[in-house]
Amino acid sequence: MTGERVATARREAGLSQKELAERLGVSLWDVERIEDGQQDAVARLDELARATGKPRAWFGTGEAPAAESNGAEPVTRTDRAGVVLVLSAVAILVCVRFFTEVYKIVPRAANFLDIPIFIALVLGALLLPAVRSRMDTRHAFIFVFPALLVLVACALATLVNPTRVALPPALVFIYGYLAPIGIYLATYRIWPAGSALSLSRLFVVLALIQLVVVVAVDVPRFIPTQDPDLISGTFGTNAYQLVYFLILTGALLAGIFTFEPDRRVAKYVPFLFIAILATIFLAQYRALILTTAAALVLIGLLLGRFRARGVLIGFAVLATFVVTLSFTARSLPYLGLGPAVKAFTADPGQIVTERVRGLDHLAHLFTDHPRYMFTGTGPGTYSSRAWQTFAQADSTNPSNVAGRYALALTGGEVYGTDVSDEYVLPQASNPQVFQGSYALKVPFSDYTSLLAEIGFFGFCAMVFIYLAAMVRAGRLTLALRRVAVRGDPLPAMALASTVGFFVLLQMGILQSWLEVTRLTFPTWILLAVVTKEYHARFASDHAET
């Protein structure tokens, strides 16, 4: 209770956590621990009273802080509501498909809970009293302005292609690409600074749940069938979503091991890292093996500049990758990892070549119809995930959850357009395998989808959003690393956010995965929390470099 009252007094005094720490002569981490209730504030009550202008007795009455004069709810209740809302959103997004597709306890319609989650967070941002302190809100412009440009591009593409564009696919297209920005803005508004550790703990718990599910549920099903698609954790029939989440949380664990060595999970990080990599290789999503390697190199580079411990961890991360991949390839030859790795190592350029060949349909489209380079064919009309949802609504693939709902929206008819029928479907209906993977040969990619459906300017705006997010996360990681205090959870979270966007930008090349809310929502939430916490600490110094 005292910690909550300290946080309330600080906000009402208009102080950032950094400014309060300076007045008290303690570290930022000490202030966070006091406000989180992990450090006793009794010995500092006199200093707190002077720093915040509150009577000493105000901190020790045990009574709930008074409501603000405008009739709003007490700040502490708002804090709890914001934390619960955000943590619940992440947990549901990560776990719901386990109960709809593996153990079918919940109707499959629950797979669309991302929509209620989006609505709940936006409504929370609108209705909950804002957690007030001198926070920087101008940072949102870098995402909001290009998002508005994407909307304009969608509107233009719809106006010039009125007979081709259908409303349901167009709305799904807009939601898939732009809802994450709304999630970021909503999370930033309702998240109470000083609660970063709770989100970090949740991601760690969810990572442990993935490993437990893989060992207890997936591996027993995998052994008799040797079907790597069954290695999916709580992500149902989507192994690639599991791989992405494990890369993200692997980065978080590496950061915890570096910056929070006293945390209980830190001592188990080397073993967890091996388990994570083994699971990624077992899932056999080969197109992401190189992405995993690139992500680990990035982790090594970022941590390698953090004193001797960071250098050691950076080398250990990369060595673990090599050893685990080699062991998995030798122990499970039927996965075909060995030949794939040898082929990629012998000629890395062939990956790029094969992916370009898989996307050459876009060149044919622009050659035949040059105007589409600027106007687009219309949102949801060519090869985006929104188009796939409706054009492949009658697919018998187990992962086709939205099919029957899409058919209901289109009157029972499979959706199709002239451009997709001519340029995309011939290749999509006969995908080829390259080194054991379809990913390099399928005609789907966020980048080609955006270029084809909303034109060059809409494409540039959307890609800029994700590049800007990765750059912001990276700058925050570097800034926090310089002022890192032992036990501070924020540097590890910033590292994970950087790696998350780094991987998403690569995944967008392979398929239309920037429209998958189970990948994008948690990543944008993580960035929002890191940004909010950083601004709370350094309200008078917003520079992120």
Cβ within 8 Å of residue 417, ≥6 positions away: 164, 377, 378, 381, 382, 387
At 78, list the tokens.
Answer: 């708002």
Closest CA to 245 of 182, 194, 288: 288
Domains and CATH numbers, the chain: 2-59 (1.10.260.40)
Cβ within 8 Å of residue 484, ≥6 positions away: 259, 306, 491
Contact 316, 363 (CB under 8 A): no
Question: Helices 167-190 and 114-127 sit at what angle, rounded to 10 degrees?
Answer: 50
Helices (H), 260-306: 269-283, 289-304
pLDDT at 73: 36
Contact 415, 378 (CB under 8 A): no
Measured CA to CA, the distance from residue 406 to residue 402 in angstroms comes to 6
At 360, list the tokens.
Answer: 């050459």
Distances in Å between the alpha carbon of 9 and those of 20, 158, 532?
10, 51, 19
pLDDT at 129: 64
pLDDT at 99: 93
At 384, list the tokens.
Answer: 């985006």
pLDDT at 459: 97
pLDDT at 432: 67
φ, ψ for residue 437 (rounded to 5)? -135, 140
Contact 231, 222 (CB under 8 A): yes
pLDDT at 356: 78
Distances in Å between the alpha carbon of 61 and those of 1, 2, 5, 13, 57?
9, 9, 10, 19, 6
pLDDT at 523: 98
pLDDT at 206: 97
Contact 378, 453 (CB under 8 A): yes
Percent of the chain as helix, strand, coil, to the nearest 5 = 70, 0, 30
Contact 398, 237 (CB under 8 A): yes
The secondary element (H helix, E strand) that includes residue 401 is none
What are the pLDDT tens digits along the chain (545 aa)? 677 778 777 777 767 777 788 777 777 777 877 887 777 777 777 777 777 767 776 676 444 444 333 333 334 565 678 899 999 999 999 999 999 988 889 888 888 999 999 999 999 888 876 554 444 566 788 999 999 999 999 999 999 999 999 999 999 999 999 999 999 999 999 998 878 999 999 999 999 999 999 999 999 998 888 777 788 999 988 888 999 999 999 999 999 998 898 899 999 999 999 999 989 888 866 667 778 888 888 888 888 766 566 667 777 777 878 788 777 777 777 676 666 667 666 666 667 777 778 788 999 999 999 999 999 999 999 999 999 998 887 776 666 677 777 777 777 788 889 999 999 988 887 766 655 566 667 889 999 999 999 999 999 999 999 999 999 999 999 998 887 777 889 999 999 999 999 999 999 988 889 999 999 999 999 999 999 988 887 764 444 54
At 97, list the tokens.
Answer: 């498909």
pLDDT at 183: 97
Three-state DSSP state, 376: coil
Measured CA to CA, the distance from residue 454 to residue 479 in angstroms comes to 36
Neighbours of 237 (CB within 10 A): 16
